[in-house]
Structure 1
Amino acid sequence: MPQDILEQAGTPDHPITVERAPGRVTLSAKGTKLAETADALILREGRYPPTYYIPKSTLPKDLLEQASKVTHCPYKGDATHWKATLADGQGIDPIAWSYENPIQGMTSIQGYLGFYISAFDGVFDPPPQ
């Protein structure tokens, strides 16, 4: 059951909903805690699995570096992609994406990052549902 729906967009065949995640969310990668927040969002899009978006400001300032890749979503806008270097020097490329200037109807995700969990051994606690 959705907690607090912030925005709904998309089409009947490809609905998108952004809601507040209930409680605290922690993101870890390679055994290292990267972020913890009570301000996570859950984006539900079409048939994709739910995705946490967490505030970019909750990650260490020196963790992320903008990658050259930019993609476009007709429902959210242009996505900036990010890579990371962990404290032990391990690189993760790509790690995340963000919509720096999302289109009207998806502005709640501005300033937030979505993560490529399948691209690294990252885990969210609790997993998005």
Structure 2
Amino acid sequence: MTNADVAHRIEIEPNRHRLRVIHCGITIADTSRGLTLRESGLPDVFYFPREDVNMSRLQRSESASHCPYKGDACYFHLLTEEDGPVVDAAWSYEAPLPGAEAIKGCLAFYSSRVDRIDQTS
């Protein structure tokens, strides 16, 4: 384990607020059971249980990435009527590494690729 690994932290905790993803006026995800992932040096990320995501609006893409702290991620295009697919708008860790198990199967969205990600009371 390197010094960088020792200093790198991932914290995952339940988010007590309502979380929503909205794009082109359509609610893509809406949950009161979301998670907030805090990772060293990165902005907080909201994860949505798959049951609270409109999966008919998502299409699995061929993209993949690897995080040495969370594992292998798969990606999803967001399907819209107006703009066509939003490429790789969301991602998921299907088999996360130890320490990140809480996000297994949940989805997160790039805030830069959707209109809004809201956190309300």
Smaller-chain TM-score range?
0.7 to 0.9
Q: Displacement, 1:12?
A: 3.6
Partner of 1:57: 51
Contact kept, 8 Å, 2:63 with 2:88, in 1: the verdict is no
Q: Which moved more, 1:79-88 or 1:12-21?
A: 79-88
Unaligned runs of 5+ in 1: 1-9
1:75 aligns with 2:69: yes
Percent of pairs with identical residues: 32
Alpha-carbon distance, 1:89 to partner: 6.1
The reply to whether residue 109 of structure 1 matches residue 109 of structure 2 is no
Please state which structure has a larger fraction of its residues in helix.
2
Aligned to 2:51, the other structure's residue is in SS state helix
For residues 24-75 of structure 1, the C-alpha deviation after alignment (integer angstroms, 9 at most, x for no partner) is 1111112221121111000001111101001122122311111101110111
- Report which stretch shifted further, 44-53 or 84-93: 84-93
Which 4+ runs in 1 deviate beyond 3 A? none
Residue of structure 1 aligned with 2:84, choices 90, 104, 111: 90
More strand by share: 1
Deviation at 1:88, TM superposition (A): 4.5
- RMSD value over aligned CA atoms? 1.9
Q: Which residue of 1 aligns with 2:17?
A: 23
